């Protein structure tokens, strides 16, 4: 944290406080009020991410771990969802109950005993944990930087826009054997090019700056003039792992919340699908842009910038992709979602239903102490 504070103070003339918390908001947040800025470094996110990294590391070492990976990452997703949807406590509670039914044996923390197997699972876990913290810090930091330096945001967005045009106009996609993937990437870039600069290009700019600054920080910390290929590989791998995890979580919670709210406003299943499908499609589209398009684009930029021979993400292995997709598919399985939503609505209609008490129950089950304790 001291390092991050030092970086912030050197880069910008502003008061930035970094506070470690653990909360049901889950994600690190940059909060600004009365000219003061605080980065809430939410340890809940890192707990979930480390659990995910551990499972991913096992899978990378052993392709036969696929089913176990799916089961354990689903448990992480349910734990996340029950916190993220805490503002709808009846839904959070139903998700939590179902999680306990399906995965009661799964640990909720990265057990110390598991860390003893790190020698077996290689350095993916260690480098992922190490570099992802820098990447997330810099991403959040540059959101604040752009807020306080709007000119820099415009310049960075224009630069990325020009590079994206170059990317679209060039033959960088010709090495792709898969025409479908090529079309998807091109469509994603077109979205990026024509997006509102205040949102998508800003996210891409923050990701770009996060990568560049993390690389620069690593050089300073190791006191070297250049970055080695294996370090660059590790930084980009950490970036991909974090983006994949992050976009899956945000996609999942968006879909659940949209479906819950739409369910209460419609009269038929057909109308439910009709009204919620566009939001599902948009959430999925955003997830693809954040976990595929932008990372792929930034990979290619840095290959040229740092003269890397090539870069292939460790997540590109077919069995890894399949395992991650399986988690996503099960988390937004419509039958289960509707079941949980119907159960939660039934719960909210009980005579002694108290949303505040239910919220506290969910928090206590998740290991939090509540105000009453």
Query: What are the residues binding other proteins (CB under 8 A)?
Result: 24-33, 45, 86-89, 136, 139-140, 143-144, 147, 198-199, 203, 246, 249-250, 253, 261, 264, 286, 290, 355-356, 359
Smallest gap from residue 341 Cβ to other proteins (A): 13
Smallest gap from residue 359 Cβ to other proteins (A): 6
Angle, vertex CA 191, rays to CA 188 and CA 194, nearest 5: 150
User: Do 140 and 203 form a contact (C-beta atoms < 8 A)?
Assistant: no
Backbone angles phi, psi at 18, to 5 degrees: -115, 125
**Nearer Cβ to other proteins (127/243):** 243
**Nearer Cβ to other proteins (112/372):** 372
Six-digit token string for 263: 């369910």
Smallest gap from residue 345 Cβ to other proteins (A): 11
Smallest gap from residue 1 Cβ to other proteins (A): 16
Cα(41)–Cα(149) distance, rounded to whole angstroms? 23
**Nearer Cβ to other proteins (261/285):** 261
**Nearer Cβ to other proteins (192/246):** 246
Six-digit token string for 259: 């479906």
Smallest gap from residue 121 Cβ to other proteins (A): 26
3-state secondary structure of 30: strand
**Nearer Cβ to other proteins (89/295):** 89
Cα(371)–Cα(189) distance, rounded to whole angstroms? 47
Q: Is 268 exposed, middle or buried (0-12, 13-18, 19+ CB in 10 A)?
A: exposed
Cα(356)–Cα(353) distance, rounded to whole angstroms? 9
**Nearer Cβ to other proteins (18/88):** 88
**Nearer Cβ to other proteins (37/72):** 37
Cα(362)–Cα(124) distance, rounded to whole angstroms? 33
Smallest gap from residue 32 Cβ to other proteins (A): 5
Q: DSSP letter at 209?
A: H
Smallest gap from residue 237 Cβ to other proteins (A): 19
Cα(14)–Cα(145) distance, rounded to whole angstroms? 10
**What pairs with residue 21 in β-bridges?**
42
Q: Looking up tokens 């050197």, which residue turns up?
A: 10
Which residue from 203, 78, 117 is spatially nearest to 153, judged by alpha carbons?
203
């Amino acid at each position: 944290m001291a390092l991050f504070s030092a970086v912030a103070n050197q880069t910008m003339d502003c008061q930035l406080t970094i506070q470690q918390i653990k909360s049901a908001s889950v994600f690190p947040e940059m909060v600004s009020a009365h000219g003061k800025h605080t980065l809430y470094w939410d340890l809940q996110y890192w707990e979930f991410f480390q659990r995910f990294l551990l499972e991913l590391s096992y899978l990378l070492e052993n392709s036969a771990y696929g089913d176990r990976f799916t089961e354990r990452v689903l448990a992480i997703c349910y734990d996340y969802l029950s916190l993220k949807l805490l503002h709808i406590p009846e839904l959070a509670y139903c998700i939590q109950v179902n999680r306990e039914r399906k995965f009661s044996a799964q640990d909720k923390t990265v057990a110390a005993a598991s860390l003893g197997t790190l020698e077996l699972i290689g350095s993916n876990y260690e480098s992922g944990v190490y570099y992802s913290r820098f990447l997330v810090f810099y991403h959040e930091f540059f959101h604040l930087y752009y807020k306080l330096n709007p000119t820099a945001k415009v310049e960075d967005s224009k630069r990325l826009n020009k590079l994206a045009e170059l990317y679209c106009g060039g033959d960088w996609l010709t090495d792709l054997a898969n025409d479908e993937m090529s079309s998807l990437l091109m469509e994603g870039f077109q979205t990026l090019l024509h997006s509102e600069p205040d949102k998508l290009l800003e996210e891409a700019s923050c990701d770009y700056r996060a990568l560049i600054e993390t690389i620069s920080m690593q050089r300073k910390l190791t006191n070297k003039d250049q970055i080695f290929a294996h370090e660059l590989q590790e930084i980009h791998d950490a970036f991909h792992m974090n983006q994949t995890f992050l976009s899956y979580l945000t996609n999942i919670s968006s879909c659940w919340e949209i479906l819950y709210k739409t369910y209460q406003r419609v009269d038929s299943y057909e109308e439910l699908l009709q009204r919620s499908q566009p939001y599902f499609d948009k959430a999925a589209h955003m997830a693809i842009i954040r976990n595929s398009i932008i990372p792929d684009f930034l990979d290619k930029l840095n290959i040229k910038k740092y003269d890397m021979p090539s870069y292939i993400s460790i997540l590109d292995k077919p069995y890894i992709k399949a395992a991650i997709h399986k988690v996503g598919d099960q988390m937004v399985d419509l039958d289960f979602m509707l079941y949980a939503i119907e159960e939660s609505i039934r719960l909210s209609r009980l005579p002694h239903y108290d949303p505040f008490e239910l919220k506290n129950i969910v928090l206590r089950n998740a290991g939090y102490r509540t105000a009453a304790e």
